[in-house]
Amino acid sequence: MAIALTNGRVLRGGTLVDGLSVLIENGRILAIVAQDDPRCRDASPCDLGGHMLLPGFIDTQVNGGGGVLFNDAPTVEAIRRIGSAHRRFGTAGFLPTLISTDLDVVAQAIAAAREAIAAGVPGVLGIHIEGPFLNVERKGVHDPAKLRELDDSAVGLLASLGTGRTVVTLAPEMTTPHIIRRLADAGVIVSAGHTNATYAQIVEALHHGLRGFTHLFNAMSPLTSREPGVVGAALEDRSSWCGIIADGEHTAPAVLRLAMRCKPLNRFMLVTDAMSSVGTDKLSFKLQGREISVAGPVCIDEEGRLAGSNIDMARCVRNAVSLLGLPLAEAVRMATLYPAEFLGLAHELGRIEPGYRANLVLADSELNVLDTWIDGEPIAR
């Protein structure tokens, strides 16, 4: 039987619209109709209590959550627990993210993501492999002992998921334009991060299939007066996507506001870079043997370096409104449609439209998440 979501304010385009019912059947949006449409009488009703119905959030960089770090447990069960923790905050699609490690662990993580998709684990869309092909000069908290150059021998592994989407964050200067092209041609979404590349190196990588930039401004060569660096190349290029962590700490809000004046807004997407503490009350955890402390919205190591975030996607959307000055609809698109476009999934995710997967978020006026549907199933089920 179809389900009729009624008495909500449905986000259509850039407007919250009253008086609509969203009909769901077999995990997809069947129709969007007036609440007095005869089809609603034949459906099972679900009263939304006048709250906002938004597309489900999509997070392309999720290191952990619910007390689990993907690096510590590259398993199907870990992916399930991480997804469950973030679902409470509106994330209906995510990429479990592996921080730089040995290639045998990368292989385990890819196998786990493949199995999770096959098993129907709610929300998992693929995998994000962040390293180990990074520049030690911009390593952040990545273990320098794990970092390495990317040569032909690893291309097959990185392209081996066989389902869903694979994002690989690499430093373009740690490989060649030829290998970047091979990855892109194999369907891998290549993103630059933890890189000390020059502007010219990034421009060449863009010509060979580089598609995005991982946590813009963080762990990359900056924009300067004579060398535009990675940041300058990212902001000049109008086609590539930039992930931003809107926690107020990773990057100053004023800097993000300036960045968003440089290229189309639909090329920015919110990411959490979340660690295992999200969805828990834990104030510390271990990352590859190092003690990491939770400090408000961020995580830091013993030396005071940023080590991911303690933020969820709903809070990112709230911050995009309050700190970056974006209209609600635009902030929501940065957490829904734009990451869907980055992943090549905008034909079925990121909008509330007939035929789309019924990945939806119910939120109050303060963007507190009340329920999250994934493929038509609410949390309660």
**pTM score, whole prediction:** 0.97
Give the mean model confidence (pLDDT) for residues 14-18. Answer: 94
Residue 102 annotated in active site: no
How many alpha carbons fall within 13 Å on the CB side of residue 37? Answer: 17
Question: Of residues 237, 273, 312, 371, which has the active-site annotation?
Answer: 273
Task: Report the domain count for the chain.
Answer: 2
Please indicate, yes or no, whether residues 118 and 216 belong to a single structural domain of this protein. Answer: yes
Please indicate, yes or no, whether residues 226 and 85 belong to a single structural domain of this protein. Answer: yes
Please indicate, yes or no, whether residues 126 and 144 belong to a single structural domain of this protein. Answer: yes
Query: 248-267: per-residue pLDDT in tens?
Result: 999 999 999 999 999 999 99
| Residues 6 or more apart in contact with residue 331 via CB below 8 angstroms | 270, 317, 318, 320, 321, 324
Please indicate, yes or no, whether residues 151 and 186 belong to a single structural domain of this protein. Answer: yes
Please indicate, yes or no, whether residues 287 and 308 belong to a single structural domain of this protein. Answer: yes
The pLDDT, as a whole number, for residue 13 is: 84
Indicate if the pLDDT at residue 40 is higher than 70: yes
User: What range does the domain containing 24 cover?
Assistant: 3-54+353-373
Instruction: Tell me what percent of the residues of the chain surpass a pLDDT of 90.
Output: 98
Q: Taking each helix axis as running N to C, give the angle between helix 76-87 and helix 103-118, from 0 to 180 degrees, rounded to the nearest 10.
A: 70
Please indicate, yes or no, whether residues 172 and 261 belong to a single structural domain of this protein. Answer: yes
Please indicate, yes or no, whether residues 200 and 308 belong to a single structural domain of this protein. Answer: yes
Please indicate, yes or no, whether residues 143 and 167 belong to a single structural domain of this protein. Answer: yes
Indicate if the pLDDT at residue 279 is higher than 70: yes
Per DSSP, the three-state class of 291 is strand
Please indicate, yes or no, whether residues 108 and 34 belong to a single structural domain of this protein. Answer: no
Query: 61-108: per-residue pLDDT in tens?
Result: 999 999 999 999 999 999 999 999 999 999 999 999 999 999 999 999
The pLDDT, as a whole number, for residue 1 is: 85
Fill in the DSSP letter of residue 210: E
- Residue 281 placed within a domain: yes
- Among candidate residues 64, 53, 83, 121, the one with its CA nearest the CA of residue 371: 53
- Residue 380 placed within a domain: no
- CATH code of the domain in which 152 resides: 3.20.20.140
- CATH code of the domain in which 8 resides: 2.30.40.10
Indicate if the pLDDT at residue 346 is higher than 90: yes
